[in-house]
Amino acid sequence: MHELSICQALLDQVARAAVDNQASSVSQIKVRNGPLSGVDTHFLKQAFTVACLGTVAEHAELSIEPESIRVRCKVCTREGIATANALVCSNCGDWHTEVLSGDALLLVSIELEID
């Protein structure tokens, strides 16, 4: 389950932000997860409950927003939504596309508690 190591890396970023802003704790962490990221949302939530123990984010809520897959067609240059098993242009149907979003796990925001 690589989601645990992903959570640990995420919490390292959160801890640095808390130190940089002199925060006493973190109340919420918001991430955006795309279907092509390779990160399972269910396992990420489970890993988070373990990884955050003893950290500045121990009582934080993890909020995971889904991100759609967006592609740009290399033939007609249009952008559109695609699905994980059909990365084709929604305009012309060509399969020569470039993935613009939906292939990453992104840290969107952190709510810090400052005393």
| pLDDT tens track for 24-67 | 999 999 999 999 999 999 999 999 999 999 999 999 999 999 99
Task: Please provide the size of the chain in residues.
Answer: 115
Q: What is the pLDDT of residue 21?
A: 95
Condensed to tens digits (0 to 9), the pLDDT of residues 104-115 reads: 999 999 999 998
Beta bridge partners of 25: 113
Q: What is the pLDDT of residue 115?
A: 82
* CA angle in degrees (0–180, nearest 5) for 30-114-53: 55
Which residue range forms the structural domain that includes residue 53? 3-113
Q: What is the pLDDT of residue 1?
A: 58
Task: Output the domain CATH number for residue 87.
Answer: 3.30.2320.80
Domain count, the chain: 1
